[in-house]
Amino acid sequence: MQTHRVRVGDQERELPVVNVGDVSVALLNLLGDTALTEAAAEELVKRLPHGVQTLVTPEVKAVPLAHAMSVRSGLPYVVARKTEKPYMVGSVKKTVVSITTGKPQELVIDGSDIEKLDGKRVAIVDDVVSTGGTLTGLVELLTEVGAEVVATLVVFTEGEARDDVIALGHLPLYPK
């Protein structure tokens, strides 16, 4: 199996290169990798712009990262869910297309989280940003609920280089 070596803080990993449609990507999975998640959180918190009041992350793989950054920074965090749950009241949603799934998916903010966002300066936290479909949808959703997105922090960018996000590194796309 082809792999791609990465380093985050004092942690090194061989990421498997997997097919996701028309291209292959080096798959970063923070779920269950506490050491890598903690190393990434440590580095990203150092790069948080002054004045951020809330962290926001899309469900699922970046949730442990947002939690670890919240613990270190003392900032609350909100998870944009991928499906509306029966217990959600007054939720707001947006449909996006992610490179990972290649299919439309929803981003949903529970009405109970809106007070943590309305009028607040927020930073989006994610594991990887590639095409920016999820990121664009999340920015639109956050703007709709009254938040001001002041930064996006990710472990890695992927594909095209991006100067609109704060990243610890970059992952290439692999032709099929």
Going residue by residue through the chain (176 aa), what tens digit of pLDDT does each one get?
899 999 999 999 999 999 888 889 999 999 999 999 999 999 999 999 999 999 999 988 999 999 999 999 999 999 999 888 889 889 999 887 765 566 788 899 999 999 999 999 999 999 999 877 888 899 999 999 999 999 999 999 998 878 899 999 999 998 87
Judging by beta carbons within 10 Å of its beta carbon (0-12, 13-18, 19+), is residue 46 exposed, middle or buried? Answer: exposed
Residue 155 belongs to domain with CATH number? 3.40.50.2020
40 and 146 in contact (C-beta within 8 Å)? no
Flag whether 92 is in a domain: yes
Whole-prediction pTM value? Answer: 0.92
Which regions of the chain does DSSP assign to beta strands (E)? 3-8, 11-19, 23-26, 54-58, 77-80, 92-97, 104-109, 121-129, 148-158, 166-171, 173-175
Question: In this predicted structure, what is the pLDDT of residue 22?
Answer: 84
Flag whether 21 is in a domain: no
Flag whether 84 is in a domain: yes
Question: In this predicted structure, what is the pLDDT of residue 101?
Answer: 62
Flag whether 11 is in a domain: no
Flag whether 5 is in a domain: no
Flag whether 15 is in a domain: no
Question: In this predicted structure, what is the pLDDT of residue 100?
Answer: 58
Flag whether 41 is in a domain: yes
User: Domain tally for the chain?
Assistant: 1
Which structural domain, as residue segments, surrounds residue 92?
30-169
Flag whether 83 is in a domain: yes
